[in-house]
Structure 1
Amino acid sequence: MHFTGLLPVRPVAILSRTSLSLLAASAALVSLPARAVDPFAIKDIRIEGLQRTEAGTVFASLPFRVGDNYNDDKGAAALRALFATGLFKDVRIEVEGRVVVVVVQERAIIASVDFTGTHEFDRDTLIKALKDVGVGEGQPFDRALADRAEQELKRQYLTRSLYGAEVVTTITPIERNRVNVTFAVTEGGVARIDEIRITGNQAFSEGTLLGEMDLTTGGLMSWYTKSDRYSRVKLNADLETLRAFYLNRGYLEFNVESTQVAISADKQRITVTIQIKEGQRYTVTGVKLGGDYLGKDEEFKSLVSIEPGEPYRAEAVASTQKAFTDRFGLFGYAFARIEAIPQIDRNTGRVVVLLNADPGRRVYVRRINVSGNTRTRDEVVRREFRQFESAWYDGQRIKLSRDRVDRLGYFSEVDVETNEVPGALDQVDLTFTVKEKPTGSLMLGANFSSADKLSFSASVKQDNVFGSGNYLGVEFNTSKSNRTLVFSTVDPYFTNDGVSRAFDIYYRTSKPLNSQGESYELATPGVALRFGVPYSEYDTVFVGIGAESTRIKSASALPENYFRLRSTYGNSTSAVPLTLGWQRDGRDSALVPNAGRYQRVNLEWGIAGDTRYLKSNYQFQQYFPLTKKYTLGLNAEFGYGKGLFGREYPIFKNFYGGGLGTVRAFDQNSLGPVDVTGAYIGGNRRMNLNAEFYVPFPGVGNDRTLRIFGYADAGNVWREGESLRDSEANPIRVSAGIGLSWVSPVGPLKLSWGVPVRYARTDRIQRFQFQIGTAF
């Protein structure tokens, strides 16, 4: 006797897994009255039809075992359980005496997933998207899942404004009950925004509001920014931008009434209509504190950034709330709530902001957990913590701890979660969750600059060797004028107090150019040991010592000073430099800074060897965000060197000027004193003053990776005895021009074209200059 769990209709195979299970159970229950099985004790259970699935998987799903009593209810339950695994497209249970035979037909397994006609996405991106809906190599094949995969692919293309994309799925059976799945994609053309309309605006023009949005109707640089491609995510972000724009100008009751997106019949043009309601503009007449401020009302009042008499600004309110929350966190109140309640008077257009505080309860940190660091050692993360276990909760120290872990550069994500401890009202646990990222790099590259022409560079670097947090690197550069081979290692925690130790072995050569186009070469092998001592969370002092030898490889037209140096010390000159430095970087970005300040000081003192000298350099940078789109950058750099104990300042330690990084529009390293042989030998003093005004490249909107700038440079190099102001023979050089700054896929690119404003007749002028891989 037997009964079947499926009706003998083959089209059932195209139903979803859920439908199969319900149909099987229903069919079994319906057939039971006609083919009822008398209960019996199971003597044996046999499985038939398995090809890949382990028998244990089937046995684990069965609701009965050998020796149990078998009946119709248990048979139906077994069918439901086996179909629920998703591994089988057909299941039957047959009874032979006291033996239960489970006959299964496995679903096909996906052997491969392939794509044709895809250009907008790379294969890995699409593979990941399909895995999220259950379609991937090694997974059971289900036609319903394939349909879901088609819809997911179309959804991916919708995010790129390819509304006409079509997907056709081809299933190819192969041996051992496997299938190859191929998705043929016809991407079609990109649907571009043809028009954006904003209605209901009265206080601000439509052009002003459209200028705040990232979505545009296209322009000269739309191929780069893709700002004319519609995306719901981008539109939502723009709506929030509009909301913030109005709320920061006093329009408390601003609202987006509706958004309508219409697409043309050919799916190539999109029209976006945004209906807004501005409401009334409100002016702040006062700020009141309510709730519990721990008796420190005056202290909290000093944190208020809301200005009475000014229009209501949501940014100022949010900033004040955050400042209050952070201040409560300093006192151990991890769950303080600050509610801003605008008390508006529509008749007068005035508003009083009530800041109501509920500090909650004071807590201390019981335990700090670290998760996600599969490679980096726990101690590498924990030594960056400034919040400690069994100490009062301190929001500022927790934020600083998170920032320090993030600045390590070993993780792509760093999150901190605060969890209450069950049964303890005054305790919390912190969990730092990190996501590892590759910290090693192998770089092979070619650079081209107007000064050095074509040069090659390569490096092998590992910022986190064996998860220890140590740095190890080897790099070289084949520039025409400066060649370098460097081996470096850095231990950022040489001591438990955070003192770092760095060790360098290097070999550098330089070829300064003379006026006849001939060059001479200086070769400098050396070693250096330096330590970095943090004396605050943002400042580090560096101290080190090294040993180097400079050898003069003469060519024709060797400068007189080098000839005299070689006559005094021979072809090789030794030095033991002691270095001292300080650095603070407060810029918001190293590549495309918009705000902040950067400072560094370097001192080099030759304390032993053939030469005795002191070389110093100071650099200061400041960036001012004039508006959301415009930035002013200022840079100043001063260098000074002097010979000590009656010895001349070594000429191979001279400063050079001219070209990118100093005074543009003049040839690289061509400023300053000129030897009697016509060689540009530099000087012991240097000054550079630079100003750059950045504006977005036309058509790129708010994208800061591509900007144009106007610049003005001033500076020069002087030898010992020359006056910086009064020298008629060597005055300060001035230039001005325009340029392009682009964070390109191959590195930061900077191009400039300028004209000398103040120059000498003998100066070497180079109006167009560029370089890849350099910054301001």
Structure 2
Amino acid sequence: MKRLLLPAVLAALMIAEVHAESFTISDIRVNGLQRVSAGSVFGALPLNVGEQADDRTLVEATRELFKTGFFQDIQLGRDGNVLVITLVERPSISSIEIEGNKAISSEDLLKGLNQSGLAEGEIFQRATLEGVRNELQRQYVAQGRYSAEIQAEVIPQPRNRVALKIDINEGSVAAIQHINVVGNSVFPDEDLIDLFELKTTNWLSFFKNDDKYAREKLSGDLERLRSYYLDRGYINMDISSTQVSITPDKKHVYVTVNVDEGEKYTVRDVRLSGDLKVPEDEVKALLLVQEGQVFSRKVMTTTSELITRRLGNEGYTFANVNGVPEAHDEDNTVSITFVVDPGKRAYVNRINFRGNTKSEDEVLRREMRQMEGGWASTYLIDQSKTRLERLGFFKEVNVETPQVPGTDDQIDVNYSVEEQASGSITASVGFAQNAGLILGGSITQNNFLGSGNKVSLGLTRSEYQSRYNFGFVDPYWTPDGVSLGYNAFYRTTDYDELDVDVSSYAVDSLGAGVSIGYPISETSRLTYGLTIQQDDINTGLYTVDEIFDFTEQEGDSYLNLKASVGWSESTLNRGVMPNRGHSQSLVLETTVPGSDLSFYKLDYRGQVFQPLTDNYTLRFHTQLGYGDAYGSTAELPFYEHYYAGGFNSVRGFEDSSLGPRSTPSTGNNPGTRRDPDQDPLPFGGNVLVQGGVEMLFPLPFVKDQRSLRTALFWDVGNVFDTNCSASQKRLSDSCDIDAGNLASSVGVGLTWITALGPLSFSLAMPVVKPDDADTQVFQFSLGQTF
């Protein structure tokens, strides 16, 4: 009532100078304006020149001017027949300064103040400031900061302005001292309290902050508790009350939850109702709820979702399926009826893409399994999203299906993507005493110029060695997904430029190849390849017996034509750093008749991601390889051997350091010398066995985990050789294929997707170390992921 009377009293006092009798307004004069325009005043004033003014109209005019909020004092006077309005404007806000806040950022606070009408340049109203102060206090209380204090100071400044200074003492979040559940008899306290996100103070609380009370967290915990009972048959469970008490020092919180469990219910029968649109047998096959089961709201909801998706696959995007439980208290049973309302079949109007600033629309559109003009299939829309994620070009892919305005049977499908680095680039400059200046570089781009094609180019040049390679893959050589790839490479070594002969051997290679891939299903494809390659073996004066024996028998120059056939399958959810699904490949490569050497290699790779929770995933991976000779060739050529150790193998060991060792030359072979300082070096083998398991987990304190992967790993593997010489068998145990000869290591690794490509680090400790294996605790690599 006071708020209603005050304006009227003020208005009556302000027009005290005006003669009581009415008069005709001949002119209107406004005094005191500084920032507010005269037009704003006349726009709010309900009086005009020529109109009759009396006490009632003047009081009403005063009220209207006050409603603008621009003025803190208004006086109406009369000078003859001229209406004189004298105004005192409210001050404007020149600046807002916030101090002491950490839990809530200044940007968020200023945004909230702006929404409440407090911003630089706005009109200041003390009532608004007080309301904002109370709202800030409530926000801190919701975070469990009961001791938070908000002080607002208004500092007058010249030219009718004020500066606002908000001083915040956030205090500390009240820690939970005790959580108690009262009224439960079916489930023990420990099981129920374990459901809570809120925890009492423990040794992990410093990192997890799970002992800090927050009203939102408690609401979520109560819903989780309610769902726990509803999923176990207690449909009448009720949380009767919740008490949150705070100690006088406002540092500790006690939470008590009172529950009424009720009786346990089972399912009496399950029925379907409505227009199913699909065969009833198919719908019944989706029913997870069965007679005699303990009632579970989660199972009932999941069944509704399965039926909804099944209808969505047939174009009924707006289908609504509700599970309606009917309780029978006399025997504690529930009848469940799934009411199906399919709605109208929806069709796709347009498919739109947003966020692909580098990738061409065509690159995204060719991955679509949902077509424009066809009925909207939930499965095809989701499958299209998955295919975009598997490209590896995008950090995130989201899809929305808004209804087309003005229609009830059309939708648009909008895919929004966030692009990420899809290639890697490396450059190196070095100097070696015997080799001179070494320049090197390589670039690999999986989405070359946004075309979706993969291009790789590499160059390394020194005084004695040159390496060049080029590769190209078009994944959509034909519109139906047949891929075409080709590559060329050249490697040469010139020993005349070296001051001394120190190398065991080098291979000069020149070759080119082509491959064609055919999709045979949504997730698998066959690949055929053909490569022609010329290899020349160059040996120094110091070599090893195994190389000498091979070149003595097979010569030192070979022209081989290699044919390959491969099968691959992938259900991974992303092309880069996936965490769901599996992938595997099997490739057979062999030389064809007419080649100088006869050999083959069979390789298998596989990995499986097994989610444990939303944030933790197990990854199992393996790589197996076997190679051998056939026909006139005695054994697999030594330069085609497998090697193990390092990244993408057994971390914690130096690259290629595992497996059989070479035998230093005795100097008895013609044209060779004995190097007294040469130790046995890794020589590789024709059998590769390696694999391991990883626990993928989020990196603490990092909000955006999409470009990071951290893992605890256990790697196992080694290389074996079924064609070891007698001297090699004396040097290494890796000649015999034996699980006891597998090397292993444990450690932690991190991969970060940077603008230059994936950057990987690992810290590993060998667990089983074969003799003569070289260890390396810290390793890093640019351009590959694990």
Moved more, 471-480 or 212-221: 471-480
- SS, match of residue 184 in structure 2: coil
Give yes or no for contact 2:240–2:258 (8 Å, CA) kept in 1: yes
Determine the structure 1 residue equivalent to 2:409: 427
2:172 to 185, 189, 195: 189
CA deviation after TM superposition for structure 1 residue 227, in Å = 0.7
Residue in structure 1 matched with residue 486 of structure 2 by the alignment: 545
C-alpha distance 717-142 of structure 1, shift in aligned 2 (>3 A): farther
1:762 matched residue in structure 2: 772
Q: Which has the larger radius of gyration?
A: 2
Deviation at 1:706, TM superposition (A): 13
How far apart are 1:136 and its partner, in Å? 2.8
Which region of structure 1 is more displaced relative to structure 2, 208-217 or 282-291? 282-291
Structure 1 residue 277: Cα displacement: 2.5
Task: State the partner residue of 1:198.
Answer: 181
How many Å apart are 1:225 and its aligned residue? 1.1
1:222 alignment partner, one of 193, 205, 210: 205
- Residue matched to 2:219: 236
In structure 1, the partner of 2:346 is: 364
Q: State the one-letter code of the partner of 2:742.
A: V
CA gap of 1:603–1:110, structure 2 versus 1, over 3 A, is farther
Q: Are 2:337 and 1:354 equivalent residues in the alignment?
A: yes
**1:374-389 to 2 correspondences below 5 Å:** 383=365
CA distance in structure 2 between the aligned counterparts of 1:605 and 1:101, rounded to whole angstroms: 104
Question: Which of 250, 264, 268 is the equivalent residue of 2:233?
Answer: 250
**Quick check: 524-533 or 293-302, which moved more?**
524-533
- C-alpha distance in 1 between matches for 2:269 and 2:140: 51
Secondary structure in 1 matching 2:475: strand
Query: How far is 1:219 from its partner?
Result: 1.9
1:319 to 302, 306, 320: 302
From the superposition, tell whether residues 671 and 73 of structure 1 become closer, same or farther in structure 2 (CA, over 3 Å): farther
Q: Is the 8 A contact 1:547 1:577 kept in 2?
A: no
Residue in 1 aligned with 2:645?
Answer: 658
How many residues get paired? 696
**Residue 114 of structure 1 pairs with residue 103 of structure 2:** no
1:113 shift after superposition: 2.3
Which of residues 500, 505, 511 in structure 2 aligns to 1:561? Answer: 505
Map of 1:299 onto structure 2:
282
Query: Does the C-alpha gap of structure 1 residues 309 and 476 become closer, same or farther in structure 2, counting only changes over 3 Å?
Result: farther
TM-aligned CA distance change 1:564 to 1:134, over 3 Å: same
- Give the match for residue 464 of structure 1: none
**Contact in 2 for aligned 1:192/1:268 (Cα 8 Å):** yes
C-alpha separation between the residues in 2 aligned to 1:102 and 1:577? 99
Aligned to 1:687: 689
Is contact 2:100–2:168 with CA below 8 Å preserved after alignment? yes
**Superposed displacement of residue 264, structure 1:** 0.8
The equivalent of 2:735 in structure 1 is 728
CA separation of 1:275 and 1:60: change in aligned 2, threshold 3 A: same
* In structure 2, distance between residues paired with 1:377 and 1:493: 4
Tell me the percent identity: 27
Q: Give yes or no for the alignment of 1:529 onto 2:531.
A: no
Q: Deviations over 1:617-646 (max 9, x none)?
A: 653222334678985431122457899999
Cα distance in 2 for partners of 1:770, 1:483 equals 21
C-alpha distance in 1 between matches for 2:48 and 2:458: 74
State whether residues 230 and 297 of structure 2, in contact with CA within 8 Å, keep that contact through their aligned partners in structure 1: yes
Q: What's the counterpart of residue 150 of structure 1? A: 133
TM-score (norm 2): 0.70
Aligned to 1:273, which of 256, 259, 272? 256
1:636-655 to 2 correspondence within 5 Å? Answer: 636-638=622-624
- Cα gap change, 1:153 to 1:478, in 2 (>3 Å): farther
1:584 aligns with 2:570: yes
Give the drift of 1:307.
Answer: 3.9
1:57-87 superposed Cα distances (whole Å, 9 cap, x missing partner): 4454444666777776665555445444434
Letter in 1 for 2:249: D
Question: What residue is the counterpart of 2:321 in the other structure?
Answer: 338
- Residue 364 of structure 1, CA deviation: 3.5
**1:108 aligned partner, one-letter code:** P
> What is aligned with 1:490?
447
- Partner in structure 2 of residue 624 of structure 1: 610
Contact 2:15 2:76 in 1 (8 A): no
Summarize the Cα distance change of 1:508–1:649 in structure 2 as closer, same or farther, 3 Å threshold. Answer: farther
CA 1:366 to 1:551, structure 2 compared with 1: closer, same or farther past 3 Å? closer
Residue in structure 2 matched with residue 444 of structure 1 by the alignment? none
Q: Is contact 2:322–2:339 with CA below 8 Å preserved after alignment?
A: yes
Bigger drift between 84-93 and 626-635 goes to 626-635
Amino acid at match of 1:501: N
Q: Tell me how far apart the structure 2 counterparts of residues 69 and 372 of structure 1 sit (CA, whole Å).
A: 62
Residue 193 of structure 1, CA deviation = 0.8
Task: Say if 1:372 and 1:20 are closer, same or farther in 2 by CA, change over 3 A.
Answer: farther
Structure 1 residue 635 corresponds to structure 2 residue 576: no
Q: Give the Cα separation in 1 of the matches to 2:104 and 2:131.
A: 19
Aligned AA (2:10): A
Q: CA deviation at 1:37?
A: 7.1
Aligned to 1:501: 453
For residues 393 and 631 of structure 1, do their structure 2 counterparts lie closer, same or farther at Cα, with a shift above 3 Å needed? closer
CA distance in 2, matches of 1:578, 1:60: 87
- Do the aligned residues in 2 keep the contact of 1:50 with 1:106 (CA within 8 Å)? yes
Residues 160-185 of structure 1, C-alpha deviations (whole Å, 9 max, x = no match): 43221112122223344333322222
**1:144 Cα deviation (Å)?**
2.2
The 5 Å alignment of 1:66-215 reads 79-93=62-76, 96=79, 102-215=85-198
1:592/1:705 contact within 8 Å kept: no
Residue identity in the other structure for 2:308: T
Residue 40 of structure 1 is matched in structure 2 by: 24
- Between 263-272 and 652-661, the greater mean CA deviation after superposition: 652-661
Comparing 314-323 with 140-149, which one deviates more in the overlay?
140-149
Instruction: Tell me which residue corresponds to 2:434.
Output: none
User: Whole-Å Cα distance in 2 between the matches of residues 86 and 644 of structure 1?
Assistant: 96
Q: Does the Cα contact within 8 Å between 2:506 and 2:539 map onto a contact in 1?
A: no
CA distance in 2, matches of 1:157, 1:672: 62
Instruction: Give the match for residue 288 of structure 1.
Output: 271
Are 1:671 and 2:650 an aligned pair?
Answer: no
SS at 2:133 equivalent: helix
Amino acid at match of 1:734: L
Task: Give distance in 2, aligned partners of 1:205 and 1:705.
Answer: 42
- SS in structure 2 at match of 1:144: helix
Q: Is 1:716 the equivalent of 2:718?
A: yes
Deviations 1:508-551 (A, max 9, x none): 799xxxxxxxxx998755444322349999xx876433445446
Cα displacement (A) at 1:221: 1.9
SS of residue in 1 equivalent to 2:506: helix
User: Measured at CA, do residues 101 and 256 of structure 1 come closer, stay the same or move farther in structure 2, by a change above 3 Å?
Assistant: same
The structure-2 alpha-carbon separation of the partners of 1:625 and 1:395, relative to structure 1 and needing over 3 Å to count, comes to closer
C-alpha distance in 1, partners of 2:629/2:40?
A: 84
* CA–CA separation in structure 1 for the residues paired with 2:492 and 2:130: 73
Distance in 2 of aligned mates of 1:110 and 1:385? 54
The answer (yes or no) to whether the contact 2:178–2:254 under 8 Å persists in 1 is: yes
What per-residue deviation string (whole Å, max 9, x for no partner) do you get for residues 326-377 of structure 1? 22233443443323233444454444432222334x2434855979979899
AA aligned opposite 1:190: V
Residues in 1 aligned to 2:661 and 2:397: alpha-carbon distance in whole angstroms: 51
**CA-atom RMSD in angstroms:** 5.7
| Counterpart secondary structure, 1:105 | strand
Q: In 2, distance between residues paired with 1:419 and 1:19? A: 52
Q: 2:464 and 2:180 mapped to 1: Cα distance? A: 65
**Structure 1: 5+ residue stretches without partners:** 1-17, 441-460, 462-470, 495-499, 511-519
Residue identity in the other structure for 2:610: F
